[in-house]
Amino acid sequence: MEYEDFNDNDSLEIFKKSGGNILLTSVDNVINWGRSNSIWPLTFATSCCGIEMMAAGAARHDFARFGIEVYRASPRQADVIVVAGTIVHKMAPVLKRLYDQMADPKYVIAMGACAISGGPFYTNSYSVVRGVDHVIPVDVYIPGCPPRPEALIYGVLQLQRKIKAESKENRMETRNNFI
Amino acid sequence: MVEKAEVILGENEQYVINMGPQHPSTHGVLRFELSLKGEIVDKVVPHCGYIHRGIEKMCEANTYQQIIHLTDRMDYLSAHPNNEAVSLLVEKALGIEVPERVKVIRTMLSELGRLGSHQLWWAAFGMDLGALTTFFYGLRDREKILDIFEESFGSRLLHSYICPGGLMNDIHPNFKTRVKELIPYLRKKLPEYDQLLTGNVIFTERSKNIGIMTKEDAISYGITGPSGRGSGFACDVRKAEPYSAYDRVDFKEILMTEGDTFARYQVRILEMYESIKILEQLVDQIPDGDYTVKMKPIIKLPEGEYYQRVETARGELGVYAVSTGEKFPDRMRFRTPNFSNLFIIDKLARGHKIADLVAISGSLDLVIPDIDR
């Protein structure tokens, strides 16, 4: 999907192309439903947003309800990398390497102002990467400094919608459009 | 016939592995370069800089009110003491006396923050040692404190609430009753922490006599906070150089002499009770009055050098500022507690198993953005 076409979150369903083979699309739907409800995140927290990510996984907010449950320590077992915190120039190659180590299909959530644009460190800082999308392609952006756990849950739900709307043709679209 | 190999790989010779920067037990992006002999740690070289954001340099292009927001992001678990350090420095330089109301509220917020920070540490420390239940218990109680924060300043973690001259805005009318509700709640829940971990055989086996830090070590490495007090080093700034309302409250400086991981654990657990005691004394003594003194929109400190230290949840935070009379500081330097606390890990972990390194680094309670700034 082109950037201009994306008006609101409802346009996500444009992803879903009509007129496919009835058997293949039904199989796709079932597979996507299953995949979207068991997204395993990577334990990757660089700074403050990591604490809110922990809070989202803990007793009150409990985002295990949405299937994004098992924090994996190894990128090889993870489906989604939640970039929670600032990425600096020294960390950027490590992040790229972690992303490359993840198995397809893989997704990225940029959590917090630092991961989106550098946030409070956008001006005057000599070492901060201005947005994690300079390094890896991002599927969902969650604004806030730091975002509340509810915001993270909302972001995860948007990612689930995106996964559900995917088909074999456009699964790699985000990554292919990434320069 | 195949000859039996004399050397088992890695058994006697030294080899080097990396732990981090992405590792769940380093609590962020810290990298340890470990020299191992078999499973025994021979040497630990900590590598910093994976979250170096240049906050000290950024301070040179920001006014003092703006610097407040950067200090939040250093040690995000004790945001209030970090803000307070810069605020006290500015007030000291300008010779401003803040209202009594501000002093009492600042002290209460610091203690609430300390409680929340220690609870999160306890949750993560248990998780490091394989007890996942602690994670849920600790964060369950922490949410109660965050509720109080959220009601008054609208944010859960990075408040930027204490500013030069006082507070950003007045506390919520419910603040008093919320704190009064919190105190009996925590008094009921904190013994659960002891039941779950302190008496646990697996936990005590893994923490007692592990990573022993002597008092001399603690002093020469500059270890402050609960980690230093676990070795008997009386380093509490709240006692030594009382600021805000700490001179009028009665609390005990927790000191242990063992200096092992378990002692550092116990200091933090007992400190939580002391924090509750401080809150109990202050909650009824919040005087009426202004929440801030009137400050100019742009603060210019007189020419000179200034230093102010406060006690955060992890130790002594020192702020050093050089002013040339401009609205920006000429140089800002933070003496952060975690940076000093980190480098003793080599001495503590030598000769222990690699699994004990996780226990030791957990007991030092490291916050990585505070190390790298």
Residue A2 lies in a domain: no
Residue A147: give its domain's CATH number. Answer: 3.40.50.12280
How many domains in chain A? 1
Q: Determine the residue among B19, B23, B29 to mutate to test chain A binding: the one whose Cβ has the most chain A Cβ atoms within 10 Å.
A: B29
Please, which residues bridge with residue B331 across strands? B322
Question: Which residues of chain B make contact with A60, given a CB cutoff of 8 A?
Answer: 139-140, 143
**What would the pLDDT profile of B297-314 be if each residue is shown by its tens digit?**
888 888 889 999 899 988
Contacts of B20 (CB under 8 A, 6+ apart): B26, B29, B30, B31, B32, B47, B50
Calculate how close chain A gets to B138, using CA atoms only, in Å.
9
Tell how far CA A62 is from the center of its chain.
18
Q: Do residues A88 and B50 make contact, with C-beta atoms less than 8 angstroms apart? A: yes
Asked if residue B170 is part of any domain, the answer here is yes
C-alpha–C-alpha distance, residues B127 and B355, integer Å: 13
Chain A nearest-CA residue for B47: A90
Nearest residue of B to residue A58, measured between CA atoms: B136
Amino acid type, A23:
L
ipTM of the complex: 0.83
Query: What number is the average pLDDT over the span A115-133?
Result: 88
- Containing structural domain, residue B337: 54-368
Tell me if A72 is assigned to some domain.
Answer: yes
Which residue range forms the structural domain that includes residue A118? 22-176
- Chain A contact for B22, CB < 8 A? yes
> Which residue carries 């997204």 as its tokens?
A39
Q: In Å, how far are B55, B122, B148 from B143, measured between CA atoms?
A: 29, 14, 9
Q: What would the mean pLDDT of B120-149 be, rounded to a whole number? A: 88
Supply the pLDDT for residue A10. Answer: 61
The mean pLDDT of chain B is: 87
Residue B320's pLDDT band (cuts 50, 70, 90): very high
B34 falls within a domain: no
Q: For position A2, what pLDDT does the model report?
A: 60
- Asked if residue B107 is part of any domain, the answer here is yes
Segment B172-211, tens digit of pLDDT: 888 889 899 999 999 998 888 888 888 888 888 888 888 8
Model pLDDT, residue B1: 58
Determine, yes or no, domain membership for A114: yes
**pLDDT mean over A154-177:** 77
What per-residue confidence (pLDDT) applies to B12? 64
* Kind and range of the H or E run holding B36: strand B31-37
A82 in contact with B at a CB cutoff of 8 Å?
no
A120 vs B73: CB contact, 8 Å cut-off?
yes
Query: What residues of chain B lie within 8 A of the CB of A59, using their CB?
Result: 136-137, 139-140, 143
Residue B2, domain member (yes or no): no
Mutate: best of B18, B26, B48, B51, partner A, most A CBs <10 A: B51
Q: Has residue A4 been placed in a domain? A: no
Instruction: Decide if B28 and A46 are in contact by the 8 Å CB cutoff.
Output: yes
* DSSP letter, residue B63: -
CATH code of B227's domain: 1.10.645.10
Q: Identify whether A9 is part of a domain.
A: no
* Structural domain includes residue B215: yes
Question: Percent of chain A at pLDDT above 70?
Answer: 80
pLDDT at A24: 67
| Residue A117 contacts residue A134 (beta carbons within 8 Å) | no
Q: How far apart are CA A38 and CA A79, in angstroms?
A: 9
Give the amino acid at B289.
G
In which band, very low, low, confident or very high, does the pLDDT at B254 lie, cut at 50, 70 and 90?
confident
Give B154's contacts (C-beta < 8 A, 6+ positions apart).
none
Chain A residues whose beta carbon lies within 8 Å of the beta carbon of residue B50: 46, 88, 90-91, 94
Closest partner residue to A145 (CB to CB) among B124, B135, B158 is B158
Residue A18 has pLDDT above 60, yes or no: no
In a domain, A143, yes or no: yes
Where are the alpha helices (H) located in chain A, listed in sequence order? 22-36, 49-57, 92-101, 113-117, 149-164, 173-176
Q: Does the residue A70 lie in any domain?
A: yes
Q: Is the pLDDT of residue A20 over 60?
A: no
Q: CA nearest A43: which of B142, B17, B175, B22?
A: B22
Q: What does pLDDT average to over chain A?
A: 81
From residue B170, give the alpha-carbon distance in Å to each of B71, B86, B274: 21, 20, 26
Question: Which chain A residues contact residue B137 at CB under 8 A?
Answer: 59
Tell whether pTM > 0.80: yes
Structural domains counted in chain B = 1
Within a domain: B135? yes
Q: How confident is the model at residue B362 (pLDDT cuts 50, 70, 90)?
A: confident
